Amino acid sequence: MLSKLISANKSFLRLFSAIILIIATASCERKQQSGSDENDNGGNNYPEAVYYNVLDDETIAALDIIEQIFSNLGDDVQTTFFKNMVIADINSFADSIATTIGTHDIELGLRKIAYSYYSTDVNGEPIEISSAALWRVYRKNNDTIWHDISPEKIVMVEHFTITSDAEAPTQCSPFELLVTGNTLTIMPDYIGYGLTRHLPHPYLNHDLCATNSIDALAAGYTLFDEVASCELKEDWTTCVIGASQGGGNALAVHKFMDTNPEYAEVWKFEYSYAAAGPYNPSLTMEKYFERGKTSYPLVYPFTLKSMMQSYPDILGKYTEEEMFSDEYLQMKDTIDYMFESKNFTTAEINEVLVKNLRITVDENLSDDEIYLSDIFKEVMFNNNSEVVKDLYNCLDKNDLTRDWTPSHRIRLFYSSGDRTVPYENSIAMKEAFGDKVDATELEEPVDHFEACTLWMIKVFLEGRLSFVAKSLG
């Protein structure tokens, strides 16, 4: 995502101004949070132990992880500024650990365990899928033994849209690791990646992704409890965060918690924090067709393939040949291979689609956009057609703006300049749930990837402010 920010060629002044705004507002937002009913779940129940299987166990020096993440992002002012903030945070935390144990020099690391666990597949059948659990460790300089550090809370991180298995949490060091701080971080791969890379990913199937994530949380907690040499801090809580598709999944996990209050109590659930997510898939699709053009064309075959698989009796009764344009069908085998192989990133698939489907061109089209009329057959533009009705029927089943009542705080972050996920999703959440939603809109409109990056910086800074506050007593 950060590479998209860089390529957008935005000014450092705007980014810096946004950061200053974030610092100014973060403290009061945290105060508002702490005064809500989110912390009324401190019961004496503890999560039950469940099955897990360790797939890989590694420890990486924190500064090495930072170098890995930033290595391909260039050395421009924006990137260097963010990188230096993260390094300063790591060094400050390391100094606090060194003071606590009475030494001068320590090295901070991150222990990452990839594990498998049992959950449910798209057909409601048992399946073993994968996730990552991560927490901070330290060692004294010139020592080979790493020591676990007690996490302050559990953070479930729902990752953004990927199509390459190499980007799955168990396979890499995700961007989000830059902002989670001293937590037990649980990052599910989702079905279709990691252990299940041979399967299609159920994109926008919110209920299924929520179930898979809750099961990952239970298994990750059991793993930490049995493997780590430390415990969670006594006052630990759980929150769930995510951006883009991860934002939608984060809200789906939140919905699961609040519609199953026994889970919210056991997990001491606190809040969700989502950025630029497709919370209402039907509204998202409606806005796509209203706009009539896209800079992120892979979302259309990705969505339709998932809905056909997730609801075989509704959308699965149609074929792609009935929905997609002749031009798309000519390259269908190529696109299918790119999705199914899990060897290609979203950027690579979008590039192929734009290059081959950019047929209609006029002055209203940006260089990175194509018209939807070059992707779909005419029937898809007729809201009265049976296939469109059935598509929206499937999407409606994943609408997070209805059929539940939040009892914990929802935090949202969005930009009205988002071309990838319509910002109206965030407005719909606010309208649906009123004062249960704290929504932050960027004052200056920016596109999707820059908005998600600024959200990450905001999450980072809020965590830093919290650490400083605790350090000051």
Q: What is the pLDDT of residues 282-293, one digit of tens each?
A: 999 999 999 999
- Arithmetic mean of pLDDT, 318-325: 97
**Residue bearing tokens 């291979």:** 337
How far apart are the C-alpha atoms of 209 and 230, rounded to whole Å?
Answer: 30
Region of poorest pLDDT, from 60-64, 117-121, 195-199? 60-64
Nearest by Cα to 159 from 149, 146, 168: 168
Return the structure tokens found at 463. 């965590």
* pTM: predicted TM-score of the whole model, two decimal places: 0.89
Please give the C-alpha separations between residue 208 and each of 44, 45, 122, in angstroms, as whole numbers: 29, 26, 7
Q: Would you place residue 174 in the very low, low, confident or very high pLDDT band (cuts 50, 70, 90)?
A: confident
Q: Lowest-pLDDT range, 71-80, 239-248, 405-414?
A: 71-80
Percentage of the chain surpassing pLDDT 70?
Answer: 88
Residue 269, burial from CB neighbour count under 10 angstroms (0-12, 13-18, 19+): buried
- Say whether pLDDT at 29 is over 50: no
Q: What is the mean pLDDT of residues 32-37?
A: 36
| CA 79/CA 70 separation, integer angstroms | 8
Question: Sign of dihedral through CA atoms 240, 242, 246, 251?
Answer: positive
Q: Alpha-carbon Rg of the chain, whole angstroms?
A: 22
Pairing state between β 269-275 and 238-243: parallel
* Separation in Å, CA 178 to CA 87, 183, 458: 10, 12, 12
Amino acid in position 276? A
Beta bridge partners of 438: 411
Give 179 or 352, the one with higher predicted confidence.
352
CB 168 within 8 A of CB 102: no
CA 414 to chain centre: 14
Structure tokens at 243: 């951006």
